[in-house]
Amino acid sequence: MSEKQHSHDLPFWRKYIFSLDHKVIGIQYGITGLLFLFFGFCLMMLMRWQLAYPGQPLPVIGNLFSERMMVGGIMLPEFYNQLGAMHGTIMVFLGVVPLAVGGFGNYLVPLQIGAPDMAFPKLNMMSYWVYFLGGVAMIASFFLPEGAAQSGWTSYPPLANIAASGQTVWLIGMVFLITSSLLGSINFIVTIVQLRAEGLSFFRLPFFVWAQFVTSFLLLLAFPPLEAAGVLQLMDRLAGTSFFMPSGLVVAGKALEVSGGGNPLLWQHLFWFLAHPEVYVLILPAMGIVAEVFATNTRKPIYGYKSMVCSVIFLGFMSFIVWAHHMFLTGMSAKMSSFFQITTMIISIPSVILLTALALSLWGGSIRFSTPMLFAIAFLPMFGIGGLTGLPLGLAASDIHLHDTYYVIGHFHYVVAPGTIFALFAGVYHWYPKVTGRKMSEILGKIHFFLSIVLINGVFMPMFILGLAGVSRRLYDQMQFAHAQPTQPLNVFMSVCAWLLGLAQIPFIINIFGSLIWGKKVDNNPWEATTLEWAAPSPPPHGNFDAVPEVYRGPYEYSVPGQKHDFWPQNMAKEN
């Protein structure tokens, strides 16, 4: 007796709103994540107006904003700083991670391991709604009298301590988001360890599952210190403590009435202890997606699967001991700086191995240039640029000049925007047929791809020029500095590319909704792939499989010599 037979008896709100089914929850995470990505993108498009045309009124749209944000359509510095802090926060915590882990992870992991659902369905549902509440809190903070948080997504005290009430709401929102992540990561770890199908040993797992597995450990162990830091900052702001406030501060001419004795660096250490592993949380699921899309579209196994698994585990460990490379300029001792430079150099090795293995996976293949494959291929050079530009930042001596400049912004955006987000696009195109039972349009997909790849490089490549010129981050108007004035024309170029990039997403949005209606209907395995999710119907029913599947081979048995077909599904008992 299984719940599949009863699922159609459930009322609408229990089937689609408060569902316990990992697929519904995955879709909820996916849609919410995409909406937040779009919202965060809009925040950036606003910022890019001020960056391109400092002090100029924004036509038409500028008049929609209140006087606290834009006066006569001209952006105020406080609003610019809010946009900056919230763009980062929303993209990282409300957009990319929920989509990559909550969306793709939730939907695919149980399917790929042959399980009927996640180990804790109720906890899964709770994780989503707690995330949703955290998101509501973050968005609502824009409507506070003094606006949203405006001290960077990094919220460094003392600035964040003395900032307006939006910062308190940010902290509360973070507590919700961290709780959601923690509950989710427990679910993933237990599911992957306990609920794998018969015959599905760890080294037969799709690389996507390995990536999610390591990601979950990072979330589980790295987030709590940030939660601790959040509690401490809330105490500073609400209970008058001085965890991060030293004695003797004078703000705007008045001595600050705090007990003192605190240390701003304490926040930085606790923050970056999370935030560094967090960037691996941003990239690992993306690498997992690229591996799956590559295997399917090259018709051969991934190169160096075992090295990739070992590398991703090693990367996970190393990610906990590099955090202070974000703090090279805080006055740390030679010993500490040397230690973190060394660990940072070491962590580049598994990253290089992973990227190289993926690139080598193309060799000897029979490459299908479908839309998901185009995005997955583009991931390689884009992540390559992002990773390589981390080198001058990871060495303290070159970091002296580049720290907190646009070079950093270019570096991390390359990894996460044309890096992770392109991989997420690939994932959407690749698994849409599984989720909906229909294929997305290849034409719209290719338009989306070619426009995006060109424009996104237009947005971010010039940032390295600005960074080398010494233009600092988070500047409302760089024209006030002589050393930054010459690169101002590049801002216009970047902004135009950014706005066009926004328009280039329209084919994608049309494709997602339109294909629900006019997309070509497919059976359970339209891509002729080998992993277990393709053994279930498209879309899979509640409970996924009729019986626990049995697995006979590894995840990427494509083009096996002697087989009739060029793919040999994991759960197929006999010869193909």
Which is closer to other proteins, CB of 36 or CB of 93?
A: 93
Which is closer to other proteins, CB of 300 or CB of 438?
A: 300
Kind plus residue range of the DSSP H or E element containing 254? strand 254-255
Beta bridge partners of 75: 70
Which of 505, 304, 496, 290 lies closest to 381 in space, CA to CA? 290
Residue with tokens 């997602």: 512
Which is closer to other proteins, CB of 334 or CB of 573?
A: 334
Measure the N-to-C terminal CA separation of the chain; round to a whole number of Å.
Answer: 33
CB of 537 to other proteins, least distance (A): 16
Write the CB contacts of 397 (distance below 8 Å, at least 6 apart in sequence).
none
CB of 334 to other proteins, least distance (A): 6
- 210 within 8 A of 284, measured Cβ to Cβ: no
CB of 263 to other proteins, least distance (A): 6
Both tokens of residue 277? 């592993």
CB of 478 to other proteins, least distance (A): 7
Which is closer to other proteins, CB of 153 or CB of 508?
A: 153
CB of 500 to other proteins, least distance (A): 23
Which is closer to other proteins, CB of 329 or CB of 509?
A: 329
Q: Please, what's the largest Cα pairwise distance for the chain?
A: 82
CB of 92 to other proteins, least distance (A): 17
- 169 within 8 A of 149, measured Cβ to Cβ: yes
Cα atoms in the Cβ-side hemisphere of radius 13 Å centred on 153: 19
CB of 40 to other proteins, least distance (A): 18
Identity (one letter) of the amino acid at 454? V
Both tokens of residue 82? 């809010």
Buried b (16+ CB within 10 A) or exposed e, 417-427: bbbbbbbbbbb
d(C-alpha 256, C-alpha 245), whole Å: 10
Which is closer to other proteins, CB of 356 or CB of 505?
A: 356
Kind plus residue range of the DSSP H or E element containing 507? helix 506-518
C-alpha gyration radius of the chain: 24
Which is closer to other proteins, CB of 145 or CB of 561?
A: 561
Write the CB contacts of 145 (distance below 8 Å, at least 6 apart in sequence).
68, 164, 165
CB of 256 to other proteins, least distance (A): 8
d(C-alpha 572, C-alpha 548), whole Å: 13
CB of 255 to other proteins, least distance (A): 6
